[in-house]
With several copies, the nearest count.
Chain A
Amino acid sequence: MSSQSFAATEFVVRTIAQTSCDNEKRFGDLDAVVGDGDFGYSLARGFEVILADWDSYDRSDIGTFLQKIAIAITNRIGGTSGPIWGTAFLRAGGKLKGHDEISGAEVITALRAAAEGIQARGGAALGDKTLLDALVPATDVLETKLTEGVSAAEALEASAIAAEAAAEATTSMQAMRGRAAYTGERSIGSVDPGAVAVAVIFRRLSDEWTSR
């Protein structure tokens, strides 16, 4: 339970939680443009519980840990983000059940499972202007880099850059899913809050990876 990989997993989860809490206002403002403004609030209310109860989650193995986190956030995050983020953690955890160590390839498998879970739950396709439009490109780059054999830090930095570019690119998309879809063409011209959140998280993971 104190393997390298476990520490890295804890770092990732904690960074996701911390980033969500720190950016409550920013994410809320983005959601107010063509949504209902609660995205920042919802994420923060869910992830602050993760930080508060940090030591209490079952750490039998990495998969179990992620699934306990999944249940906790599904129970706390309201709105679309509860089922979406909860499903992502649940499916990623499912791929890592029993693991105490994880390889780069397994990280990619877990991320793919998360994205597929989001897709299955919410019915969104790539290009529908959701967080998938940042998560999938970031995963693609991470996979390419890890396959090339670069360091984790380098791979993570490349995927953060990809996530940021991808989040920015949602500006020109028309929302086809979620509340923003009700605004039709008026959704074009602003970034998707979920995609930005993914990019901000990848950025912070990369920035803090080496000093973790």
Chain B
Amino acid sequence: MTKMFVNDPKQFVPEFLKGIALANPDTLTYDPRFNLIARADAPRNDKVSIIQGSGSGHEPAHVLVVGKGLLDAACPGDVFSAPPLEYVQEAIKRVASDKGILLIVNNYTGDRLVFDMAQEFAEADGMNIKTIMVNDDVSVQDSTYTVGRRGVAGNFFVIKAVGAAAEEGADLDELVRIGEKVNSVARTIGVGLTAPTPPARGEPLFDLPADEIEVGIGIHGEPGRRRAKIAAANDIVGELLEAVVADLPFSSGDRVAVQVNGLGGTPISELYLVYGIVHERLAELGITVARSYVGNYTTSLDAAGASITLVKVDDEIERLLAAPAEAGVRIF
């Protein structure tokens, strides 16, 4: 038996979704047939509705960021699997707004295929629907691959910015512009210290020896750039930050939003230790932190590890990131 809180592993996702619904009775609705969590006040015809699909196992992404100024609905698939077509079609139906529908999709084949199909069907139904692809992971050098980069923790910033703009009444094209802009200046890389254990699998997804880490790991435990020996935090963070900074590139004078995201099994104390290193290195490079985020945002089940995201902000992005928001993931 796996060491986790689970009953029937196949019911893991529906059971935790039920918990989320019970904990947020006034603000969220839940349709267990389609893993569908939606804002209780959606759809509003004065506002574009925003949907994120993706697999489960990344909580609080994305079911817990349904709320005011964020998503209108999320319809996750099983653990680490894009949702089946039906779920996406139901989500679209549930929050269909006269102002349009925006799909935010992390760039994975499964998600792309299913959201493409759903969009085609919705357009055939006469809906005003568009998609933003998120692909912020610098771990994978896309020149060698035909599938492009993966979408990882950067999706938080896309959601937060377009969510805020949608709340202000921006139209669908404007949201696409904003979302694509944020994605274009967001860069992330992760590192795995341990492998995630999917409930239905009951064992870690892969073997990571006691003294090795996976640099550039994906949020589904996909391999990254290289296996490395565990090293001091300063060295690990140095390598990650270099990869992120060099990619855009970020340079002296830039203002950035920084996220140190935990993969699920790493305590927040360690994440702040990482943040301290990131902050000081950025200062050395002349890069100013405009806003910081430290905690579990886009996780990989119980994996120990972290990712670092930098987003180059301008006045517009900074304003949208600072706008108020409310969601199922909350503290007080």
Taking beta carbons and an 8 Å cutoff, which residues of A are in contact with B? 28, 32-38, 41-42, 45-46, 74-84, 86, 121-123, 128, 176-179, 181-184, 186
Contacts and interface: CB of A to CB of B under 8 A. Distances in A.
Contacts of A33: 206
* Most chain A C-beta atoms within 10 Å of own C-beta, residue among B55, B81, B85: B81
Interface residues of B, number: 36
Contact of B78 (A75, A78, A84, A177): A78
B221 interface: yes
Given A80-B109, A182-B147, A38 B78 contact: yes
Given A42-B78, A177-B146, A37 B221 contact: yes
Nearest to A31: B205
B146 A176 contact: yes
Nearest to A34: B223
Contact of B145 (A36, A78, A80, A176): A176
A34 to B, nearest CB: 6
Contacts of A84: 113
B108 interface: yes
B190 interface: no
A78 B222 contact: no
30 contacts: A32-B206, A36-B80, A36-B218, A36-B221, A37-B198, A38-B55, A41-B81, A41-B198, A42-B81, A46-B84, A74-B85, A76-B86, A78-B83, A79-B80, A79-B81, A79-B110, A80-B109, A128-B146, A176-B146, A176-B147, A178-B109, A178-B147, A179-B108, A179-B109, A179-B218, A182-B222, A182-B223, A183-B222, A184-B140, A184-B145
B79 interface: yes
A35 B82 CA distance: 13
Contacts of B139: 182
A37 B222 CA distance: 9
B85 A86 contact: yes
B77 interface: yes
Interface string B193-207: 000001011000110
By Cβ-Cβ distance, the 4 closest A-B pairs, closest first, are: A78-B81, A78-B77, A36-B220, A75-B86
A199 B99 CA distance: 48
Contacts of B84: 46, 74-78, 82
B222 A74 contact: no
A176 B78 CA distance: 25
Nearest to B198: A37
A38 to B, nearest CB: 5
Contacts of B222: 34-36, 179, 182-183
Nearest to B219: A36
A41 B55 CA distance: 13
A28 B9 CA distance: 15
Given A75-B85, A82-B85, A182-B222, A38 B113 contact: no
A24 B10 CA distance: 13
B150 interface: yes
Given A76-B86, A79-B55, 7 more contacts: A32-B206, A42-B81, A80-B82, A84-B113, A182-B145, A182-B218, A184-B145
Nearest to A82: B84
* Most chain B C-beta atoms within 10 Å of own C-beta, residue among A37, A42, A123: A37
B283 interface: no
B123 to A, nearest CB: 17
A184 B113 CA distance: 21
Contact of A80 (B83, B86, B113): B113
B114 interface: yes
Contact of A83 (B113, B150, B198, B205): B113
A42 B108 CA distance: 16
A90 B306 CA distance: 41
B117 interface: yes
B207 to A, nearest CB: 10
* Most chain A C-beta atoms within 10 Å of own C-beta, residue among B10, B77, B108, B222: B222
Nearest to A73: B84
A76 B114 CA distance: 12
* Most chain B C-beta atoms within 10 Å of own C-beta, residue among A78, A82, A122, A181: A78
B269 interface: no
Given A37-B198, A79-B82, A181 B205 contact: no
Contacts of B114: 78, 82-83
B81 A74 contact: no
Contacts of A179: 108-110, 218, 220, 222
Contacts of B221: 32, 36-37
Interface in B134-182: 139-141, 144-147, 150
Nearest to A74: B85
Contacts of B55: 38, 78-79
Nearest to B34: A75
A90 B83 CA distance: 19
Contacts of B220: 35-38, 179
